[in-house]
Amino acid sequence: MRTVCHRKVNPTQMIFRTLVEGMSHPGRVYQMPAINEKVPWSNGLLAIVHTLFDHEIGFAVIESASQDQTSGEVYEATKASVVDLPEADYVIVEGSRSGGEIESASRGEPAFPDKGATIIYRLDSTNSGSGAPGDKIILTGPGINGRKAPQLSGLDRDEIALIREINSEYPLGVDCIFLNGQNQIMCLPRSTRIAFRPI
C-alpha cells in the first residue's frame, strides 16, 4: 500500500508511548528514548513538554531559582502560557519537593475531574530530599498487579504524603509524572493508592 504522507513521524510519538506505559503501570520506571541530534529537545523535561504542551494549555513552574529560565524555555518550545498555579493544566516542580505549593493546584471538578492538573517533578535537581528515611511506600490500584514499591529513587516521602492527601477525594486529584536525570520517568496517577509502612 503506497503511503500517502511523506512527513516523518514526530519523535514525540515515542515519548507519548512511554508516558502511556508509565501512566498504565504506576510505580514502574520507563526509559525515554535517547536525546540526540534527531530530536529538537535537549533534556527530558523538554521532551515531555514538546509532547504535551501547546498554546491551548497553561502551566506554572514551582520552587526554583531557575523558574524564569524554565518558563521561558517551555514557552519558546511550545507557546504554552504561564498562568497562576490554580489555573495551570500542568505544573512543573524543580526537584522532589513543592514546598506544599501543589496543594493549590487544580484537582478538577466533580463533573470534570480530568481538569485536575498534571504535576511533572524534575528530580535531577541537587536538592532531592528523601524525607523520613525509615518509611517504605507501598502502591496499589489500577495498573499495579498486587502491590509494589515505586521503582524510582529520589522521591521525597513528605511530598508523596502530600500527594496522597490531595488525591484523597478520588476522582478529584492530580496526576504525577516523575522525571530523573537519566531521562527515566515514573507515573503516579490519582487512582494509585499510596500507603506507608515503617521498614
Cα 120 to Cα 112: distance, rounded to the nearest angstrom: 21
Q: Please write down the HEC assignment for all residues of 92-150.
A: EEECCCCCCHHHHCCCCCCCCHHHCCEEEEECCCCCCCCCCCCEEEEEECCCCCCCECC
Using CB under 8 A as the binding rule, whether residue 57 contacts another protein is answered as: yes
Find the binder of another protein among 18, 23, 107, 166 (CB under 8 A): 23
Residue 144 is a binding residue for another protein (CB under 8 A): yes
Nearest CB to another protein, comparing residues 68 and 87:
87
**Which lies closer to another protein via its Cβ, residue 132 or residue 149?**
149
Residue 169 makes contact with another protein by CB under 8 A: no
Binds another protein by CB under 8 A, chosen from 38, 84, 133, 145: 145
Q: Minimum distance between the CB of residue 20 and another protein, rounded to whole angstroms?
A: 7
Minimum CB distance to another protein, residue 60 (Å): 16
Task: Figure out which of the listed residues 70, 118, 125, 128 binds another protein, where binding follows CB under 8 A.
Answer: 118
Which one of 38, 111, 198, 199 is in contact with another protein (CB under 8 A)?
111
90-94/118-122 β-pairing: parallel
Indicate the residue among 95 and 173 with the shorter CB distance to another protein: 173
Question: Rounded to the nearest whole angstrom, what is the least distance from the CB of residue 136 to another protein in the complex?
Answer: 21
Nearer to another protein, 85 or 188 (CB): 188
Q: Which residues of 5-25 are buried (b: 16+ CB within 10 A; e: fewer)?
A: eeeeeebbebbeebbeebbeb
Give contact residues for another protein (rule: CB under 8 A).
Answer: 1-10, 12-14, 16-17, 19-21, 23-25, 51-54, 56-57, 89, 109-114, 118, 141-145, 170-171, 175, 189-191
